[in-house]
């Protein structure tokens, strides 16, 4: 049903790609992150809640057909439907049915609670193509932690000393999740980078409750801040605008990478919050088993630990390179 090509996952029966790179006629999009939603598609297929984010990212004038979760649609002889992936607002797994066989391509997903997106849905299938960003047992975390409260406490402590707090977060998904988690706690607006503002507006327009924000673009020259929380991309510190943070500020990063000592930039943050938009090791294994799939292909597979573990559990599991069509994989040998 699916092949792995240079442009990404391809379905020959329906002549469409899932999250392709480069120019294609039909692009089925799991979610609006830039490693999944790229320019160059003639026609995009999206979830209804993902469409505004897709347009905010790729431009208002792209051609999009959008579908509600579970709504069936055809591309050629293949029947498709989107199912919530729990990753960011509108993120979907793609279910494909053709000649009595069901495949599911997971896209990015997580099982943790998140007030800013639709909760993950288990979709039974014959073949499951799973992501595995955190595909080693080193990545496991506590699901009960109230990260919103932890971030608030850190902000409050710094604030009492008149020190600004800078939390680095991707401008789509992570930023809004942090704002959602802070919504019950925040006592004043969070100052957010201008890149996240239109995306945050998309979330609010769909009724997602977020902490109050102030867009960085409204900051006046010479304005001074003491004890505020800034939600920014990491590159901000290298910009001229960084001077508004003052000399004395605290930094933190919210990511699943915080689960290990090898995390990127380990020594460069004052604090780390273990907050991931991807499934951890236990949830990857659990999810694969819950689909009931007999065959599993693993993407972004790290060191291959997940493939090995699933094989041990008696499943037929392969790295996604096993989906490269034969003639091409033979070529790769040379
Ligand atoms: Zn993503
Ligand atoms: Zn991704």
Express each pLDDT in 151-179 by its tens digit: 999 999 999 999 999 999 999 999 999 99
Centre of ligand 2 to C-alpha 161, Å, is: 38
3-state secondary structure (DSSP) of residue 258: helix
pLDDT 10s digits, 173-194: 999 999 999 999 999 999 999 9
pLDDT 10s digits, 42-54: 999 999 999 999 9
Centre of ligand 2 to C-alpha 253, Å, is: 18
Q: Judging by beta carbons within 10 Å of its beta carbon (0-12, 13-18, 19+), is residue 290 exposed, middle or buried?
A: middle
pLDDT bin (cut points 50, 70, 90) of residue 334 is very low
Average pLDDT for the chain: 93
Count, residues in the chain: 334
Residue carrying the six token digits 């509600």: 68
Centre of ligand 1 to C-alpha 139, Å, is: 17
Centre of ligand 1 to C-alpha 197, Å, is: 18
pTM: 0.94
Looking at the predicted structure, is the pLDDT value of residue 272 above 70?
yes
Query: What are the structural domains, with CATH classification, of the chain?
Result: 3-139+278-332 (3.60.15.10), 147-273 (3.40.50.10890)
Centre of ligand 2 to C-alpha 236, Å, is: 22
Which residues neighbour 261 within 8 Å (Cβ) at sequence distance 6 or greater?
A: none
Alpha carbons 82 and 47: distance in angstroms, whole number: 7
Centre of ligand 2 to C-alpha 35, Å, is: 6
Q: Which of 16-20, 137-141, 191-195, 318-322 has the lowest mean pLDDT?
A: 137-141
Centre of ligand 1 to C-alpha 246, Å, is: 33
Looking at the predicted structure, is the pLDDT value of residue 302 above 70?
no
Which strands sit side by side in the sheet containing 64-67, from one edge to the other? 3-5, 8-11, 16-18, 24-28, 41-47, 64-67
Centre of ligand 2 to C-alpha 267, Å, is: 25
For residue 299, the ligand closest to its alpha carbon is 2
Which residues neighbour 247 within 8 Å (Cβ) at sequence distance 6 or greater?
A: none
Residue carrying the six token digits 């994989």: 329
- The DSSP string of 122-156 is ----SEEEEE-TT-STT----SS--HHHHHHHHHH
């Amino acid at each position: 049903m699916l092949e792995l090509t240079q442009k990404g996952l391809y379905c020959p029966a329906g002549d469409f790609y899932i999250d392709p790179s480069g120019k294609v006629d039909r692009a089925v999009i799991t979610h609006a992150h830039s490693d999944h939603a790229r320019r160059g598609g003639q026609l995009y297929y999206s979830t209804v809640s993902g469409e505004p984010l897709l347009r905010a990212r790729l431009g208002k004038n792209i051609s999009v057909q959008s579908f509600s979760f579970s709504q069936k649609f055809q591309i050629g002889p293949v029947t498709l439907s989107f199912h919530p992936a729990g990753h960011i607002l509108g993120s979907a797994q793609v279910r494909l049915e053709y000649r009595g066989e069901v495949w599911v391509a997971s896209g990015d997903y997580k099982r943790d609670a998140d007030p800013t997106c639709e909760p993950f849905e288990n979709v039974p299938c014959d073949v499951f193509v799973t992501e595995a960003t955190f595909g080693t047992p080193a990545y496991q975390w506590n699901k009960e932690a109230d990260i919103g409260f932890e971030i608030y406490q850190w902000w409050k402590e710094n604030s009492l000393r008149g020190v600004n707090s800078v939390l680095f977060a991707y401008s789509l998904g992570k930023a809004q999740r942090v704002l959602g988690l802070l919504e019950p706690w925040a006592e004043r607006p969070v100052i957010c980078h201008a890149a996240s503002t239109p995306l945050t507006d998309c979330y609010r327009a769909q009724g997602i409750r977020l902490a109050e924000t102030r867009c960085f673009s409204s900051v006046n020259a010479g304005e001074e801040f003491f004890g505020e929380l800034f939600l920014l991309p990491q590159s901000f510190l290298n910009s001229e605008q960084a001077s508004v943070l003052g000399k004395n500020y605290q930094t933190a990063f919210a990511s699943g990478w915080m689960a290990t000592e090898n995390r990127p930039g380990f020594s460069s943050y004052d604090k780390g919050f273990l907050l991931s938009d991807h499934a951890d090791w236990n949830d990857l294994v659990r999810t694969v088993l819950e689909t009931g799939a007999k065959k599993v292909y693993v993407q972004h597979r790290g060191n291959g630990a997940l493939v090995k573990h699933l094989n041990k559990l008696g499943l037929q599991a392969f790295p996604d390179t096993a989906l490269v069509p034969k003639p091409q994989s033979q070529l790769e040998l040379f």
